[in-house]
Amino acid sequence: MSGLKVQADTLNALQSDYVQQATALWNSTLARANAGDAGAPSPTLADRRFSATDWASNPAAAYLAQVYLLNARTMMQMAEAVEGDAKTKARLRFAVQQWIDAASPSNCLALNPEALRKAVDTQGDSIAQGMRQLWHDVQQGHVSQTDESAFEVGRNVATTEGAVVFENELFQLLEYKPLTDKVFEKPMLFVPPCINKYYILDLQPENSLIRYSVEQGHRTFVVSWRNPDAQLADRGWDDYIEQGPLAAIAAVQAITGAATLDMLGFCVGGTILSTALAVLAARGEHPAASLTLLTTLLDFSDTGVLDIFVDEASVKLREMTLGHQAPGGPRLLKGQELATTFSFLRPNDLVWNYVVGNYLKGESPPPFDLLYWNSDATNLPGPMYCWYLRHTYLQDELKVPGRLTVCGEKIDLGAIQAPVYVYGSREDHIVPWTAAFKSLKLLSGPTRFVLGASGHIAGVINPPAKKKRSYWTGPASGKAAATSEEWLASATEHPGSWWTDWSSWLAKHAGKQVAAPKSYGSRTHKVIEPAPGRYVQQKA
């Protein structure tokens, strides 16, 4: 950082502009006071942290908010003006933004007129309630984003009817009850991310991608990853491939008798599933009738904001504290650490918003199924996490044919023989859609790329019945466009959910219609327990 600098003329221009704006702000405030308008409301600020009338009707608070916003803009302009390599500048911007968001006057009780008015109106009860909620969150180890007591897995989230038909030490395989008289010949297997619990795909009946799949006539199976404890702290990437998708694929084949099946991977689940299919391809096996990848990275050359956290030093530190090099042996990456990291990627929405509401105003956050899922953290074995960091985010080796050996096989994603549906979310800050688009160049089968509106989760969980958002489709194969920008320039926007487009595509690869099974599992794979199963109930 000591080598960073800003050109003198740029710095002078920023300073001059700041002085002019600060002077104009001060003069306008004095003019209002001298004209006897000090009690009149100030203009409402667009920033939602200061949009309440309490800020506009309090001249001191309004002035403070405007000065803060001016300072924030100037600091970010200075960060942008710093000369340095792209990664260093990104880290600097991120650090400055974190400091700016934390320093907002809205986060301080003495400077927040909304919180002060509520304290007066409630005779201090809002402050007392805020302190009780703060102590509760200290005890549970994270800021409450929703009323977690309002939800229970299996009662009002993850309620699609089904059963556990296979399990090993890393996952349970869920099979869901058909909702149609006939089902497609080829079964469907979902592989969700192991860094979260699977029920993001089954929150409520009206926004469940799992239930939607069943309603469309697919015999649906889902991997429910175990929340690892200390006994699994030494498991590596190979374990997650061999005992994860490879075991799940074999179990679905044994239960259904199908040689090939449709498969879907979401986020890291898509990376894991693609790796597993490359392993099978190296063994001469091609069990995928189709492959769907939702917000998935295979090419890690552009990882968005997460890139600022990854370099040789940071990965080496993880290997020495969590991996096989750790004193005393491998350890778990605690789920709450991951959850906190992701929350601070959007601190105003996922951290400070709740600090103000929960503690300064004493308001209980409302029930929200998605935020309940978000707080249901998942641990990861240290060696598995370290392998993933080094070979994907740091060294970007997954896309290079023959570079990596997984489960004893040199893998090549291009050897996967299956039609592929690739989905990206346009506002995704975790898997940039332009990075998801790069998967098309790595896969040899026919491909379809679809771009959805919104972000990493909200873009994916967008049921048709809600009639929200939109999606874009382009050429039949995204490979026809040299770049993602070229693809978008010729793409067509459609109102509503991408789910309907995916369903139409999937039906072409799912085989003929056959009678729906009358029971779960098979003679060799009997029901173990009802869905959602034990593994998803385990807390980090």
pLDDT digits (tens, 9 = 90+) for 207-258: 999 999 999 999 999 999 999 999 999 999 999 999 999 999 999 999 999 9
pLDDT of residue 34: 76
Q: Verify that 307 and 392 share a domain, yes or no.
A: yes
Q: Verify that 101 and 205 share a domain, yes or no.
A: no
pLDDT of residue 37: 59
Domain-embedded: residue 367: no
Query: Burial letters for 338-354: b for 16+ Cβ neighbours within 10 Å, e otherwise?
Result: bbbebbebebbebbbbb
Q: Does 38 score more than 60 pLDDT?
A: no
Q: How many helices (H) and strands (E) does the chain have?
A: 19, 17
Please tell me the total count of domains within the chain: 2
- Final residue before a domain boundary, out of 63, 90, 121: 121
The widest CA-to-CA distance across the chain, in whole angstroms, is 87
- Distance from C-alpha of 9 to C-alpha of 428, rounded to nearest angstrom: 36
Q: Verify that 187 and 75 share a domain, yes or no.
A: no
CATH number for position 501:
3.40.50.1820
- Distance from C-alpha of 118 to C-alpha of 128, rounded to nearest angstrom: 12
Candidate list 194, 267, 386, 407, residue with the active-site label? 267
- Distance from C-alpha of 527 to C-alpha of 524, rounded to nearest angstrom: 10
Report the share of the chain in percent with pLDDT over 90. Answer: 87
Beta-carbon neighbour count of residue 65 at 10 Å? 25
Q: Which domain holds residue 116?
A: 8-121
Q: Verify that 321 and 393 share a domain, yes or no.
A: yes
Q: What average pLDDT does the chain have?
A: 94
Q: Verify that 114 and 241 share a domain, yes or no.
A: no
Domain-embedded: residue 215: yes
Q: Can 407 be counted among the known catalytic residues?
A: no
Q: Verify that 209 and 75 share a domain, yes or no.
A: no
Q: Verify that 50 and 185 share a domain, yes or no.
A: no
pTM of the complete model = 0.93
- Distance from C-alpha of 234 to C-alpha of 324, rounded to nearest angstrom: 7
The DSSP bridge partners found for residue 191 are 265
Domain-embedded: residue 439: yes
